[in-house]
Amino acid sequence: MTNKVIMLGNEAIARGAYEAGVKVSAAYPGTPSTEISESIIKYKEVYAEWSPNEKVAAEVAIGASLAGVRSLASMKQVGLNVASDPLYTFSYMGVNAGMVFVVADDPGLYSSQNEQDTRAVARAAHVPVLEPSDSQEAKDFVKFAYELSEKYDTPVIVRTTTRLSHSQGIVELNDRAEIADKPYKKDIRKNVMIPGFAKFRHVAVEQRDIALTKDASELPINKVEMNDTKIGVITSGMSYQYVKEALPRASVLKLGIINPLPRKLIEDFAGKVEKLYIIEELDPVIEQQVTSWGIKAVGKEILTVQGEYSANMLRQAIGGEVLALEQPAEVPARPPVLCPGCPHRSVFSVLSKLKLHAAGDIGCYTLGALPPLGVIDEFVCMGASISTMHGIEKAKGKEFSKEWVAVIGDSTFLHTGINSLMNMVYNKATSTVIILDNSTTGMTGHQDHPATGKTLMGEVTYMMNLKALCVAMGINHVVEVNSFDLAAMESAVKEAINKDEISVIIAKSPCVLLDKQKRQGYRILADKCKKCGMCLKPGCPAMRKSADGTVQIDETMCNGCGLCKSLCKFGAIEQAGEK
Amino acid sequence: MKTTNIMIVGVGGQGTLLTSRILGGLALDAGYDVKLSEVHGMAQRGGSVVTYVRYGEKVAEPIIEEGMADIIIAFERLEALRYAHFLKKDGVLIANDQKIEPMPVLLGMADYPENVLENLAKKYTLFSVDAMQQAKQLGNSRVFNIIVLGLVAKHMKFSKEEWYKVIEKTVPPKTVEINKKAFDAGYQL
């Protein structure tokens, strides 16, 4: 009986946590880390939850560790920013049972707002970082991370990247280790980080760094592959695979631990090769340290800090090969778009008609920045729409901010938007916030959150009432409007922006992809179409102008929202099956 | 054995992930080392998507680069054109003859190129099928990608039984029969 299966990097990470005896897992969805939580719920021995944000998730996992069971917090790279407050101090405290952060970086920005490098954060927090190169290692390194965590009394970060998280490879499965719960031990000098205790823990952190640096060279997760010694390469993670493809004859030191670096191993390897390269995606985290030890190495002077690497890139930059590659054809771009039937499009068509600016946030609706809607002027990070909106009002005054609204999704609002809204109430804002409530976390693939009434493990639970929440904060003007009711939405927005008090509009309509009952599509009555183009303005991908100027609706793409019908003044659009 | 490289390109939502998982399962069952690489998240929202399938004795990188693909499976014409230069000299392009206009074209900011498949056929070994039309005839437009896969199967060295076995394992149980029919439709082309 074979126990080899093909697994996504993220599935393998979940499997590793399961096999390591993890009992508590917490996360907030974020591409490319989401499937870790979605996979871990297969294992009934693990309690797993969506927390409202990454800081909460990290603290849940920390609590579990203190209580004495192995725990996991997983997140994308920018999620670690949200969770960095507990990370930095938990690093001082150390663990009771093992605790691992899995953090997914996104070189190439497939689904992120920046290309920050988690390895640099880990160095600042004095937390060890392991970096696997394929699905098998993803599983093995997560298991090893728990050993390290308990041996060195520290949280450990396992760093993955989009390419690893979203690639599948063969993984050999093992049984779960039944780890006995550790007894809870009250120890305030270790677990209460008042200054008087924390300064002693800082000493412990330094001693841990020294001990780990010494031991790092002996860890089995580092690999030396001696070959032709003319070229030596120090690498890790996905870059290792590109090195193996492009430079099969080179000698390679593959680092499994990135922080702290195994100095002795690196110095030995560097001494055995003629020319040393350091190949790492994103920041020169390894390179800067190694060259600071007086070792000569080539890295970022020939390779970029941006995006993903590839074998062809290395063949050219290091192998000196000239690749006779065909030029790509010049073709129109195909950027992502809001789906046909998306309720955000309907809300944005109103904002666009009213020529309003929007302070944006993170979710599918960020696509409202692009043509033809073009209503979002700025977005920074999760929850920032409401707070930047507030800053805009405080800077330029009420008259200026009347031409603005903040837009934020339901999941993002519950993530970090709540604090910003509280701030608006407290500091007497008069601006308008629109919560685009589509009853899910859409962009990451439909995860539940505190207002959906279901948990990650599929249980029915309390359902946060967004309207009641806003009212409880002290906001008088809170209205709920159906996202597809254009007239009601327009009057609600006009009323809200002109009020001398803060307003919240909750635009309600579920994500069209959640709606399993396929609604009847719409069609154009060509004889009634006046070719005015009103229905095309919101940019529904199911609609196009035909050669004679009339509009066509692609029946296979139409999801039956009826926005186009609402916009048509000539009654030229009807739902299939009407009349 | 040399590594076989297959790319699947299309528009987010067209089922590239299902297709790559079927191909991955096929190679795994045959005892090869396999790597797949996929696109999730933002890019899937109607954007251009590409997934990679590589199998052989030992596979290192999970992606396929320019000039490396043995087979490109394109679910849409413009995407066939966008990625055709990834083909090897003797590579095969299998295209679904369907047009999905991207937003810049819908907005009149760019033109959808004319005679895409005809022009590609002059340069590459190309087989095409209007799989959406065929799928509708079978009564389920969603199985169009399995029809394309049936056509692909003729250019790969796996038996029909091996294909059936992996389809049975990969698609939802209720859709096994229709998916096998779709596979046959493509295989008979």
Helix (H, G, I), strand (E, B) or coil at A573: strand
Q: What's the pLDDT at A516?
A: 65
Tell me the CB-side half-sphere exposure of residue A242, using CA atoms within 13 A.
Answer: 27
Contacts of A166 in chain B (CB under 8 A): 37-40
* Mutation choice for B interface testing from A106, A334, A544 by most B CBs within 10 A: A334
Digit-coded pLDDT (tens) for B133-162: 999 999 998 899 999 999 999 999 999 999
- Determine the straight-line distance between the first and last CA of chain A, rounded to whole angstroms: 61
User: d(Cα B130, Cα B128) in Å, to the nearest integer?
Assistant: 7
Choose among A197, A196, A180, A252: nearest CA to A23: A180
Stretch(es) of chain A classified as CATH 3.30.70.20: 522-575
Alpha helices in A405-542 (DSSP H): 410-412, 418-426, 466-472, 486-498
Stretch(es) of chain A classified as CATH 3.40.50.920: 223-317
Q: How sure is the predictor about B80, in pLDDT bands with cuts at 50, 70 and 90?
A: very high
CA distance A350 to chain B (A): 19
Taking domain A223-317, whether its CATH number is 3.40.50.920 is answered by yes
Amino acid in the structure at residue A543: M
CA distance A423 to chain B (A): 30
| pLDDT at residue B83 is higher than 70 | yes
- Nearest neighbour of A364 by CB, restricted to B38, B45, B48: B45
For B35: left if phi > 0, alpha if psi spans -120 to 50, otherwise beta; the answer is: beta
Taking domain A343-508, whether its CATH number is 1.10.10.10 is answered by no
H or E segment to which residue A136 belongs: helix A135-152
A43's tokens = 């294992």
Chains A, B: CB contacts within 8 A come to: 161
Is A201 in CB contact (< 8 Å) with chain B?
A: no
Contacts of B66 in chain A (CB under 8 A): 312, 323, 325-326
Q: How sure is the predictor about B43, in pLDDT bands with cuts at 50, 70 and 90?
A: low
H or E segment to which residue A566 belongs: helix A563-567
| CATH code at B4-187 | 3.40.920.10
The reply to whether residue B61 touches residue A310, judged by beta carbons under 8 angstroms, is yes
Choose among A273, A271, A317: nearest CA to A293: A271
Choose among A141, A166, A162, A318: nearest CA to A243: A318
Stretch(es) of chain A classified as CATH 3.40.50.970: 4-216, 343-508
CA distance B17 to chain A (A): 11
Nearest residue on chain A to B66, alpha-carbon basis = A325
Task: Map tokens 């003797």 to a residue.
Answer: B90
* Mutation choice for B interface testing from A3, A5, A78, A168 by most B CBs within 10 A: A168
In CATH terms, the superfamily for domain A4-216 is Thiamin diphosphate (ThDP)-binding fold, Pyr/PP domains (3.40.50.970)
User: d(Cα A280, Cα A266) in Å, to the nearest integer?
Assistant: 15
Under a CB-based contact definition with an 8 Å cutoff, are residues A511 and A340 in contact? no
Is A374 in CB contact (< 8 Å) with chain B?
A: no
CATH domain A522-575 topology: Alpha-Beta Plaits (3.30.70)
The reply to whether residue A334 touches residue B84, judged by beta carbons under 8 angstroms, is no
Higher pLDDT, B38 or A310: A310
Crossing angle for the helix pair A84-93 and A54-67, nearest 10 degrees?
20
User: d(Cα B16, Cα B135) in Å, to the nearest integer?
Assistant: 16
DSSP string, B1-50: -PPEEEEEEEETTS-HHHHHHHHHHHHHHTT-EEEEE---GGGGTTSEEE
The reply to whether residue B113 touches residue A331, judged by beta carbons under 8 angstroms, is yes
- Nearest neighbour of A334 by CB, restricted to B37, B48, B67: B48
| ipTM of the complex, rounded to two decimals | 0.94
* Mutation choice for A interface testing from B63, B75, B140 by most A CBs within 10 A: B63
User: d(Cα A286, Cα A272) in Å, to the nearest integer?
Assistant: 18
Alpha helices in A403-532 (DSSP H): 410-412, 418-426, 466-472, 486-498
Nearest residue on chain B to A556, alpha-carbon basis = B141
Amino acid in the structure at residue B179: N
Tell me the residues of chain B between 90 and 129 that have a Cβ less than 8 Å away from chain A: 100-113
- Nearest neighbour of A544 by CB, restricted to B78, B101, B110: B101
Residue spans per domain, chain B: 4-187
Contacts of A244 in chain B (CB under 8 A): 60-61
For each of chain A's 579 residues, which pLDDT tens digit applies?
468 999 999 999 999 999 999 999 999 999 999 999 999 999 999 999 999 999 999 999 999 999 999 999 999 999 999 999 999 999 999 999 999 999 999 999 999 999 999 999 999 999 999 999 999 999 999 999 999 999 999 999 999 999 999 999 999 999 999 999 999 999 999 999 999 999 999 999 999 999 999 999 999 999 999 999 999 999 999 999 999 999 999 999 999 999 999 999 999 999 999 999 999 999 999 999 999 999 999 999 999 999 999 999 999 999 899 998 899 999 999 999 999 999 999 999 999 999 999 999 999 999 999 999 999 999 999 999 999 999 999 999 999 999 999 999 999 999 999 999 999 999 999 999 999 999 999 999 999 999 999 999 999 999 999 999 999 999 999 999 999 999 999 999 999 999 999 999 999 999 999 876 778 999 999 999 999 999 999 999 999 998 899 999 998 889 999 999 999 999 999 998 765
